[in-house]
Amino acid sequence: MAITRDDCASLDDNDPLRSIRDRFVLPDGIVYLDGNSLGPMARNVPTRADTILSEWSSRLIRGWMEEGWWELPLRVGARIARLIGAAPEQVIVSDTTTTNLYKTLSAAVGLRSDRSVVVIEESAFPTDIYVAQSVARRIGGELRMLLRGKPVESVLDDTVAAVVMNHVDFRTAEIADMAAATSAIHDAGALAIWDLSHSAGVLPVALDVCEVDFAVGCTYKYLNGGPGAPAYLYVNARHLGEATQPIPGWMGHADPFLMENEYRPSEGIRRFLTGSQPIISMRILDAALDAYDGADIAAVRAKGIALTDLFIELVDDRLGLEVLSPRDSDRRGSQVSLRHPNAAAVYETLVDRGLQGDFRNPDILRFGFAPLYVSFTDAWDAVEILAAVLGER
C-alpha cells in the first residue's frame, strides 16, 4: 500500500524528538532540507546574542575574565566533544575548518617527519584538498590521491605520513568506516585526520574508541551555529604533549600574559589556539548547542535513518530518479542525493516552490534530513514539490 501524508503525520505524532523542532525558527512556507549546508537559527539565539552584547557594553575588557570569554573555546569544545565521542579536554572551538585542518595536518606530518607523503581522497571537499596540497608543498613532499571506491590500504606504504579522510562524503552521503580505515592507517605507521563536517550532530562518532589522531569539523551545518560559526578541532591526548601546529598564537601560549617573545605552547589542547577568538559567534554557537540537550545521539541517528529511508521510498514510488546515496542505511549519512540531467534548473525551480535543498555540479540534487527539526511530513511535502516540478518540466 502506498504511503500517504497521513501516514507521515502519524510518524510525526510518535516521534520522540518531535518537541525539539520547536527549538528552531523555521520560516513558514518552506520545506528546509539544507541543514547539511547551513542549519536554521535556534530560538534562544537572539536572547543569548543580546546577553553577549550586554556583557560587552557593560564589562568591556573585563568580560574576558568576569564573563568567561577566555574559557569559551574550551567550554564549548567540551560540549561538542560529547557529540563526537571524545574526552572534553581533547576538543577546542577555534577559527575555521580550513585553518584547523591546516593546523592538525601540519601537526601530524610533524610527528612523522621521516615521511613525506600526504594522502587525501579525490572525492574530498575541495578546501580539504587545497590544504593537503599546501602542506605537502610546504614539507617538500608528495600529495597522493585515494581514488573513489578504493580501500585506503591501496595508497599506504612506509612513506605516508598522514591521511585525511571525510567521515561522510559531501556529495553522496556515504559513510566511511572510521574504525577500519584508522586501523589500516596506523598499521602503516601513518596518522589519521578525519573531517566530521557532515556527520557531527547526526551520526554517532567515536573518535576515542577508534583511536583517531586528529579531527576537524564545522559547526554551521548540523550543529546550527550560524553562518561563519567557529569550527572545532580534536587532538588525541596521546599527541598533546608533542604535537606542534604551524600558527602559534598568544592564546595558545603556556602563559599568555607574560607577553614573552619566545613561544612556549600550552601543555593541553589550548596549544592549538591561535589569536583572539570570535566571542560573539562562539556565544551564539553555545546557545545553538542547547538544542541537543536531552537528545540522545542514538535516537537522532535512528530518526535520520527513518527520514532518509522514507524519502528514498517516496522517490522510488513517485519519481524514479537515480538515488546516488547508498541505499543501505548503515552506509548513508543524514542526506539523500539524487541525480537529474538538468539538476541546476530543477534546483532553482524547487527553491521558487518552497523546497530548499541544494545543488552540486554537475547533476546532483542534495537534501539534508537534520533529525532535530525535519519532520516526516517534510519528507512527504518535499517529494510532492519535486513531483510537481518534474512533471511540469
358 membership: H or E segment, kind and range: strand 358-360
CB contact set of 286 (below 8 Å; sequence gap of 6+) = 48, 72, 75, 76, 79
- Which of the residues 32, 220, 234, 347 is marked catalytic? 220
Q: Is the dihedral of CA 273, 181, 326, 343 positive or negative?
A: positive
Spell out the residues 6+ positions from residue 215 whose beta carbon is closer than 8 angstroms to its own. Answer: 84, 86, 104, 193, 194, 195, 196, 207, 233, 234
Catalytic residue among 48, 112, 283, 366: 366
C-alpha of 264 from chain center: 31
Establish whether the linkage from the previous residue to 362 is cis, with ω within 30° of 0. Answer: yes
Q: Is 335 in contact with 36 (CB distance < 8 Å)?
A: yes
Q: Is 263 a catalytic residue?
A: no
Q: To 10 degrees, what angle do helices 279-288 and 72-81 make?
A: 30
Concerning whether 366 is annotated as a catalytic residue, the answer is yes
Active site residue 232: no
Q: Which of 48, 103, 221, 271 is catalytic?
A: 221
Catalytic residue among 32, 125, 369, 373: 125
Phi, psi of 234 (to 5 degrees): -125, 135
Rounded distance between C-alpha atoms, residue 248 and residue 265, angstroms: 8
Distance CA 48, CA 283 (A): 7
Catalytic residue among 15, 34, 128, 195: 195
Query: How far, in Å, are 18, 19, 228, 377 from residue 203 at the CA level?
Result: 18, 20, 22, 22
Q: How far is CA 284 from CA 22, 45, 369, in A?
A: 18, 6, 22
Burial pattern 164-196, b for ≥16 Cβ within 10 A else e, equals bbbbbbbbbbbbbebeebbebbeebebbbbbbb
CA 183/CA 263 separation, integer angstroms: 34
So which residues are the catalytic ones? 125, 195, 220-221, 366
